[in-house]
Amino acid sequence: MVSASRNGPASQRGQTLLLDGITQRYGTSLAVNEVTLDIRGGELVALLGPSGCGKTTLLRIIAGFLAQTKGHVMIGGQSVDGLPPNRRSVGIVFQNYALFPHMTVAENVAYGLDARGVDRATQRSEAQRMLDMVKLGHLGERTPRQLSGGQQQRVALARALAVNPSILLLDEPFAALDKNLRLDMQIEVKRIQRLSGITTILVTHDQEEALSMADRVAVLSQGRLEQFSPPTEIYDAPDSLFVNTFVGSANLLGGVLVDCDRTAGRVRLDAGGMVETRAPKGDLRPGARVTVCLRPEHLSVDPAATDVDTLNGVVEMGLPLGATVVHEIRIGDGSAVKVSEPRIQRAELLAPGTPVRLAPVAPRLASVFAAA
């Protein structure tokens, strides 16, 4: 049965996953609050958010370890709400890998096939095939403890994929790996995910990981879904102040909305100067107090020209960071603003104390939200 579906059409793999108004309550606290995600077949979606925002809870609900307080989980258009984990056709890679320590690597990978009553010979050949896929074909007879962290993770991945699940869940899979290995494994997982075309949910608190790996990113905060968009949109057009500050870094500047339409807005900054922004989020009228978010790379420093009606400041410190230089500028209202520029454009660091003018490198880069 398993091998039959494996040879079947690729559409078998890429099942859709719908989370419909999922709410999870622990006692009186809300761990997950009305989260709705419509995930396409074969998509890699990252659940991104700070620790404690409900990512693991959501994953456990999808896997069936936890019955949600409210809402529905649909896999391939079918509700799985009543089904126990062993009948949901979901694969999981745990943060600590959770390999069975008393079994060999090959036995670990064959475990799910054995549970499905697949015969020994097929179990062995399938386990070998999966291990070859994760490039560990030669280590089948080792025990998990004899493997490095990265190798253990590959085994966990092979074990999860061996039963040909509809959905693959990865809970902070790279958190325990050191930096170089992490990048290798991210590429590896992405390759295998593409190869198998399996719908995948990646839980992470690492924004770079989410942005680089996912087709779409769901940003969560305190159990709520803040935004569900492709990575570039999350970065360039954040829906909320939370997303803007959690993903990438942002300078927050207070100001007053002067005018706006559907495509753009203009804000007079408290610290001086006027910026042209993206269309404000939410119901903002001219005259409203707002927070403007400018990313460090949205700004440039001009030491030559300061003026009364511009955003002026004084250089506090300059740091050369490889391809970029970063300056910290103390502006008129006393707050510090970070500016990051390509080194090609600014070869020399500016000396501390230099008076400068800050200007956006292009119009409509800044995001505007109602003042917090």
Partner 1 sequence: MAATLRDVTTYDLKLAAPLAAGFVLFFVTPLVILLALSFQTDPQGGHYGLSQYVNFLGDRFSLGVLGSTLWLGVKVTALTLLLGYPVAWLHQRSPGWARGVIMLFVLLPLLTSVVVRTFAWVVILGRQGIVNASLSWLGLIDTPLKLLYTEGGVVVALAQVQMPLMVLPIITALSRIDPNLADASSVLGAGHWRTFRKVILPLSLPGIVAGCLLTYAAAITAFITQSLIGGGQMLFMPMYIYQQASTLQNWPFAAAISIVFLVAVLVVVSIFNALGRLSRGYANA
Ligand X SMILES: Nc1ncnc2c1ncn2[C@@H]1O[C@H](COP(=O)(O)OP(=O)(O)O)[C@@H](O)[C@H]1O
Query: Any contact of residue 221 with ligand X (CB under 6 A)?
Result: no
- Find which of partner 1, ligand X, Mg ion, none residue 90 binds, CB within 5 to 8 Å per kind: partner 1
**Pairwise CA distance, residues 128 & 302, whole Å:** 61
Query: Any contact of residue 100 with partner 1 (CB under 8 A)?
Result: yes
* CA-based torsion, 120, 92, 142, 193: positive or negative: positive
As given in the structure block, the two tokens for residue 34 are 């009305």
DSSP-assigned letters across all residues of 240-288: SHHHHHHSS--EEEEEEEEEE-SSEEEEEETTS-EEEEEPPSSS--TT-
Which residues, listed in sequence order, are joined to residue 180 by a DSSP beta bridge? Answer: none
Near partner 1 by CB under 8 A: residue from 18, 23, 81, 94: 94
Cβ(66)–Cβ(23) below 8 Å: no
| Cβ distance to partner 1 smaller for residue 82 or 101 | 101
Cβ(230)–Cβ(253) below 8 Å: no
CA angle 39, 150, 66 (to 5 degrees): 40
CA angle 308, 312, 314 (to 5 degrees): 135
Stretch that binds partner 1, among 80-88, 213-221, 268-276, 346-354 (CB under 8 A): 80-88
Burial-class residue 220 by CB neighbours within 10 Å (0-12, 13-18, 19+): buried
Near Mg ion by CB under 5 A: residue from 56, 164, 244, 312: 56
Query: Any contact of residue 111 with partner 1 (CB under 8 A)?
Result: yes
| Cβ distance to partner 1 smaller for residue 14 or 112 | 112
| Cβ distance to partner 1 smaller for residue 15 or 312 | 15
Output phi, psi for 260, to 5 deg: -160, 155
**Pairwise CA distance, residues 323 & 368, whole Å:** 29
Query: Any contact of residue 163 with partner 1 (CB under 8 A)?
Result: yes
User: Count of residues binding ligand X (CB under 6 A)?
Assistant: 10
- Find which of Mg ion, ligand X, partner 1, none residue 57 binds, CB within 5 to 8 Å per kind: ligand X
Near partner 1 by CB under 8 A: residue from 52, 84, 320, 355: 84
Cβ(184)–Cβ(153) below 8 Å: no
**Pairwise CA distance, residues 72 & 23, whole Å:** 9
- Least separation in angstroms between CB 354 and ligand X: 43
| Cβ distance to ligand X smaller for residue 131 or 218 | 218
Query: Any contact of residue 26 with ligand X (CB under 6 A)?
Result: yes
In the block, which residue shows the tokens 């005018």?
A: 259
| Cβ distance to partner 1 smaller for residue 160 or 337 | 160
Query: Any contact of residue 173 with ligand X (CB under 6 A)?
Result: no
Give the containing element (helix H, strand E) for 314.
strand 311-321
| Cβ distance to ligand X smaller for residue 58 or 162 | 58
Query: Any contact of residue 352 with ligand X (CB under 6 A)?
Result: no
**Pairwise CA distance, residues 89 & 295, whole Å:** 42
- Backbone dihedral region of 328: left (phi > 0), alpha (psi from -120 to 50 degrees) or beta? beta
Stretch that binds ligand X, among 11-19, 45-53, 131-139, 332-340 (CB under 6 A): 45-53
Site string for ligand X, 49-88 (x = CB under 6 A): x-xxxxxxx-------------------------------
Residues forming contacts to ligand X in the complex (CB under 6 A) are: 26, 31, 49, 51-57
Q: Which residues bind Mg ion (CB under 5 A)?
A: 56
The residue ranges that bind partner 1 (CB under 8 A) are: 63-65, 84-88, 90-92, 94, 96, 98-102, 111-112, 115-116, 143, 145, 159-160, 163
